[in-house]
Structure 1
């Protein structure tokens, strides 16, 4: 508790500094930079400048990359191609940037003192990237000591002009913690603006949860974006490195973390590009798992036409996912009351599918023949065959007593209907 209480003490001291101090500090900036910022000359060599506000300062580092800078599979400038395609896309989607300019997208990542969501979790680095007409600018706001949060958030909030936030797990982690820390200094700095939010972690989870063992950004970089980081500091070491920096605030101690954060925000740009391409070209994807996941996402957001197109493409592949694609397509047909097309798929799954698909397709055929085609004999025939397929699976797993009763009730009812005896 002592370190946290110390941080609060420093923060309260900053709050009570006289209001005119920020104006006075403007005339003293050059002198104070030389005398009050430890290792100011070394920071300057790294392109880092102090930002003074309310009698304290934070540090700002800015790096510039050309649009043809390659990171893994893509150039940073590929964002412009994706942006154009989203404007022309025949479907809407939560990941679409339609209606926004490229410069509106604000790629944002933070480094914190821990994973806790409480007010005691200090955010010591706020990094963001913007893609402009001719370059990409990465800007990082660094907390030199825990008492300087007023200056940190003033520099961050006065610097950014954004409409849409792009993060990796930012909905659950970065932004809630930023809001929590901002609450402590909200009387002294600008308000947090409202914003949209593209959380690429949730997009990655939808598309690759069955493909990757881990969805950490580093794993997505390696396996999906083909990015290999050489001599990079693991993110989990950042809090420890910052603690050491607070003891001896030499820039060389913290620069590895700044470079790590810079790589993170640049990766967000190419990850957004790749995820967008997965959706814009879903029907042409070579991986049936990704294709099926994209189609399911389209269906989940109500883009039935796009989902149907991708399901149709996936169902023609020689892969186990083809059966799942056929099944999903049949359910779309059923929902749209296109029973003939749905039944054709169910017959195909029943005749050529594996045991589970045979059971599911046989049951749907039984229902369709009973309630839509009004053919009790066919309904009973498919129910009986589906029951035999189900029983083979149930015996192998030694489960299904309750389902056994449901199957028998269905068969008895259909037998009576077939024979014209009641329902």
Structure 2
């Protein structure tokens, strides 16, 4: 059987390019063709708008489904403490990854004030044998109370996974509930916002951290022409309210569906990178994981991530990772192992700012008390130009003078009384 997402792509391609609706105030003039909308969206109707005031469409994927090159099952294999680290929220340390709710909203604007309406919410969760995405749609403003009731039921009571949802989706939804005189404290729920995780893990190799960029460069997802640019989405909804036409609105459903699938794929890939479960991740991703682990005080795992990154890193990228590893070991008082790292960086010829030369010279001077070797390292830094950091040359000259004085004192020995 043809997968639902492929069927949806094929149908939407036949509809042509999306168009931007006029900006006039929308007025719904005729009943929407919601049955046709559900058909175009490619899912199963689980809640009928005629009966409840809102529409819900469900899609189910096997856990082995690959979104890009990431199987959805990766998210189920995450360790709870990894989710807590990525979320910077210890409450997730005791949460079962299979209970996560992945959610994304489509709205009439980018603000979180009372004038912005949420009209589509995609909710994804793992169920027995698969991953289920239910899309809740608001056919018109009059049905908002029932629509929000359906969304509340769909979210359940667990922890949230989103992309920028802590700053946008959750506060906006919470505002809509308050306007309907209902309480749903979404901003207090345990919440893994993958935007923050993406910035920590992937910023070294992506031009920006928009979800479209991350899903393309990290997951290998290429959205097709069936998708619609986000800035067109409010206008498409307003056009639907005026005319009842659903063809372009189906593109918004497709956009939202891919967003939710990307949340599950990205959450699994991020956790797998942190835990060292990916076969051959880019060195920059492993370095990003090392930084996050180091900040969380998980030094042994951070060191392992840095060392794995060093297996494939080259040039300036490798130099930056060696510096991080060296300072991690120094902070742990692993001075001998730190000196080995500084020496490797010195010998690589990539210590442009003189940091590794300085740290190695410190170790030789203060711990080994080998002033001759320490002086040789300082001389090497001065001669090779490894002193580009502000004030580094003066600091090296000062260290050289001190080492020469210590060396002379050792040679002459104490003066007789």
**Same fold (TM > 0.5):** yes
Assess if the C-alpha contact under 8 Å between 2:86 and 2:197 holds in 1. no
Spell out the pairing of 1:168-207 with structure 2 (5 A cutoff). 168-185=163-180, 187-188=181-182, 190=184, 192=186, 194-207=188-201
Q: Specify which of 265, 269, 272 is matched with residue 274 of structure 1.
A: 269
Deviates more, 1:122-131 or 1:410-419: 410-419
Q: Output the CA distance in 2 between the equivalents of 1:118 and 1:52.
A: 30
Assess if the C-alpha contact under 8 Å between 2:319 and 2:351 holds in 1. no
The offset of 1:381, in angstroms, is 4.1
Aligned to 1:227: 221
Aligned to 2:334: 338
The offset of 1:217, in angstroms, is 2.0
Q: Output the CA distance in 1 between the equivalents of 2:82 and 2:106.
A: 38
Q: Output the CA distance in 1 between the equivalents of 2:159 and 2:50.
A: 25
Aligned to 1:105: 100
Report the secondary structure of 1:130's partner residue.
strand
Q: Output the CA distance in 1 between the equivalents of 2:203 and 2:337.
A: 31
Verify: 1:362 aligned to 2:361, yes or no: no
What are structure 2's unaligned runs of at least 5 residues? 1-24, 411-417
Cα offsets for 1:268-305 (capped at 9, x unmatched): 11222222222222685352222222222221221111
The offset of 1:314, in angstroms, is 2.9
- Going from structure 1 to structure 2, the CA distance change for 1:283 and 1:408 (only over 3 Å counts) comes to farther
- Going from structure 1 to structure 2, the CA distance change for 1:102 and 1:122 (only over 3 Å counts) comes to same
Verify: 1:243 aligned to 2:242, yes or no: no
Aligned to 1:210: 204
Verify: 1:128 aligned to 2:123, yes or no: yes
Aligned to 1:309: 304
The offset of 1:196, in angstroms, is 1.3
Assess if the C-alpha contact under 8 Å between 2:159 and 2:191 holds in 1. yes
- Aligned CA-pair RMSD: 3.4
What are structure 1's unaligned runs of at least 5 residues? 1-5, 8-35
TM-score for both structures, normalised by structure 1: 0.76
Aligned to 2:56: 60
TM-score for both structures, normalised by structure 2: 0.77
The offset of 1:313, in angstroms, is 2.8
- Going from structure 1 to structure 2, the CA distance change for 1:114 and 1:313 (only over 3 Å counts) comes to same
Q: Output the CA distance in 2 between the equivalents of 1:312 and 1:191.
A: 42
The offset of 1:143, in angstroms, is 2.4
Q: Output the CA distance in 1 between the equivalents of 2:117 and 2:83.
A: 41
Deviates more, 1:129-138 or 1:155-164: 155-164
Q: Output the CA distance in 1 between the equivalents of 2:264 and 2:249.
A: 24
Report the secondary structure of 1:62's partner residue.
strand
The offset of 1:171, in angstroms, is 2.0
Q: Specify which of 313, 322, 325 is matched with residue 321 of structure 2.
A: 325
Report the secondary structure of 1:356's partner residue.
coil
* Length, aligned pairs only: 374
